[in-house]
Amino acid sequence: RGETYISDASLTLEPGSFNVLLGHTLAGKTTLLRLMAGLDRPDHGRVYLDGRDVTHLPVRQRNVSMVYQQFINYPTLTVFDNIASPLKQARVARQEITRRVEETAAMLGIQHLLGRYPQELSGGQQQRTAMARALVKDAELVLFDEPLVNLDYKLREALRVEMRKLFESRNTIAVYATTEPAEALALGGTTTLLHQGRIVQSGPSDEVYRHPRNREAATLFGEPPINLMPMTIQGGECRIADQRQALPEIWRSLSEGDYQVGIRPHHWSLRPLSEAALRLPAVVRVAEISGSETFLHLAHDRIDLVAHLIGIHEFGVDQALDVQVPFRQLFVFEPGGDLVLSPPSSRSTSPGVRGDL
């Protein structure tokens, strides 16, 4: 199987926090979770839990729970006994087991299923059962390795909301691994961007999304990824790709020279804009409809672009059109990739709040 090595990673996670690990497949998310859980040991460095060095502490001696992609439930046990299994192993009193199982099941909306067996449950109910088993321990650290990836879209949205609520009143550290930027934003808390075993950026999810440290972070925290185009500032003008325009007021502080601009796909508009905006002629390559959204793949001056539009829209292949984006919504990067300028937070939008057509 593919493995990713973690290098130069340092993270401090606070009690009561919800933390997202975001990165592509093999970015190092599962490896980092396994190190936290004690399933793997680091070659170098230490792991601390509540101030205690647990680097070499066996997993069974750690107060840690983990939920996986697959529904791992015992087929011969009822939902009640599946949830109760870690408490029985810890020899918790029977009355206390009943109280905690019923309380946890109620939080997850499966109290009416306690007498059933896993094979009698839907996928969502099975995953709720697995989550309940992880939560009933009242562990110091709860780890989620892409737990919703095998569920349908509507169920995933509902469970995301439930998960955030579950941890709002707990003094538990929750760590949630995902490949989906939208999921990281929906879950809130903090987000750590991982790429090839390295931590690219870490901080409050909304802050990391709106103010990525560099081009790599901006690309990782977006699906589709951010559009990138070359820009040169000279003589009071900016040239983006092959388009020359007067330098907008918000960029007057930038020195002359070469840069890259980044445009989030959902910031493109096909309507004329009344404010200062970048306007580009483009040609349609593919119009991809997904649910109630359209992903428009475009070409401008041999540069590939993607626009994310609300609603279902039909376009012809090689159809010519103009796309626009307000200058205030553009990111500006140095040639080396560091962020120079990001859109003002008060007017920037995230994928959940947009208006493109």
Mean pLDDT of 89-96: 94
pTM of the model: 0.89
In tens, the pLDDT along 232-284 reads 999 999 999 999 999 999 999 999 999 999 999 999 999 989 899 999 999 99
- Rounded to whole angstroms, the Cα distance separating 170 from 24 reads 29
- Whether residue 337 is contained in a domain is answered as yes
**Residues 210 and 309 placed together within one structural domain of the fold:** no
Mean of the per-residue pLDDT values of the chain: 91
pLDDT of the residue at 346 = 41
**Residues 328 and 286 placed together within one structural domain of the fold:** yes
CATH code: domain of residue 169: 3.40.50.300
pLDDT of the residue at 2 = 57
Q: Is the pLDDT of residue 353 over 50?
A: no
**Residues 255 and 336 placed together within one structural domain of the fold:** yes
CATH code: domain of residue 329: 2.40.50.140
- Whether residue 279 is contained in a domain is answered as yes
pLDDT of the residue at 237 = 96
Domain of residue 301: give its range: 227-341
In tens, the pLDDT along 28-49 reads 999 999 999 999 999 999 999 9
